[in-house]
A and B are shown apart, each in its own frame.
Chain A
């Protein structure tokens, strides 16, 4: 269907403005903000905080998908009932990630995950046989 005329005109103006923005020097960008009484650091801090929250949510979703994939493709075994220290759990899990890129991608920001997330993932990996329940990390 033919695009309405007003939409084409508006899009043309927007495209031209975007092209100006791409090549606008940082100094002129800062000048804009000074005239508007705004501060780049404050704006950026707010946007970074919002983005970190959004990306944390996305990483949790990736982790969930990885876990479900593990559960649905393997025979479950009971995880070890003795709870290992958190640092040992991280070492073992990271060794698994060295061997399996797909798992690493889903959990690549492991340093930002909660203790419960690490323990839960360790249990899943033991359950599907990726980790032996004897603390060997094999």
Chain B
């Protein structure tokens, strides 16, 4: 496949070829796989993926497919392959949490009449755009997602309820504070901050890596 360049309003960026992706995958070290698994564990909460390994696999396969011309996220060569796969993992997890496809399919199925063209069930209602039905579905899905995400945040708070330093870090992240600012406010040394930050990250990995079917 000829080298492709995207120009989308920014300096020209080269997109990876299939050979580039194959080489990058072959070049993944043991530590790279571990790192990717941890990233997937952090993002797994509320998705339809059953395990961090499944999410990593899907991200790498999608990168492979996209390089071969299929739809999906293509690797721009100005970022490292690991960073690209991190972004893909995050994107896939977000898409999975946002997905209302199953719910929409169930609702659309209710409108299908055997004698009506099944390609667009909303035509049966004589509507040109299914805005009312879609809106109801979207609101319900958004509320359900918010409830799940709030439950995840609550579990996180509970997990760290006896860890003041981690709670300060969480609050600092929500308030967009820098590491230095959090250290100053919380009265932590750099070492204490780094240690607490590590406890927080590992807590996230443990809490969110179970996966849940939606």
Task: Give the B-binding residues of A (Cβ under 8 A).
Answer: 1, 4-7, 9-18, 20-22, 24, 26, 28-30, 32-33, 40-41, 43-44, 46-48, 50-51, 54-55, 58, 62, 101, 105, 108
| A24 CB contacts on chain B under 8 angstroms | 35
| B64 CB contacts on chain A under 8 angstroms | 55, 58
Chain B binding site: helix, strand, loop or mixed by DSSP?
A: helix
Say if the beta carbon of B82 comes within 8 Å of chain A.
yes
Tell me the B10-52 residues at the A interface (CB within 8 Å). Answer: 18-19, 22, 25, 28-39, 42-43, 45
**Interface stretch of the complex, out of B105-113, B114-122, B124-132, B138-146:** B138-146
Task: Give the A-binding residues of B (Cβ under 8 A).
Answer: 1, 18-19, 22, 25, 28-39, 42-43, 45, 53, 56-57, 60-61, 64-65, 68, 82-83, 86, 90, 94, 97, 138, 142-143, 145-147, 149-150, 152-153, 156, 170, 173-174, 197-198, 200-202, 204-205
Chain B residue at smallest Cβ distance from A20: B201
| A1 CB contacts on chain B under 8 angstroms | 138, 142
| A5 CB contacts on chain B under 8 angstroms | 146
Contact yes or no, A14 B204, CB < 8 A: yes
Evaluate whether A44 and B43 lie within 8 angstroms (CB atoms) in the complex, with A12-B173, A21-B38, A22-B82 already known.
Answer: no
Contact yes or no, A105 B61, CB < 8 A: no
What is the count of residue pairs linking A and B with beta-carbon distances less than 8 angstroms?
124
Contact yes or no, B31 A40, CB < 8 A: yes
Contact yes or no, A54 B30, CB < 8 A: no
Contact yes or no, B145 A4, CB < 8 A: yes
Chain A residue at smallest Cβ distance from B42: A17
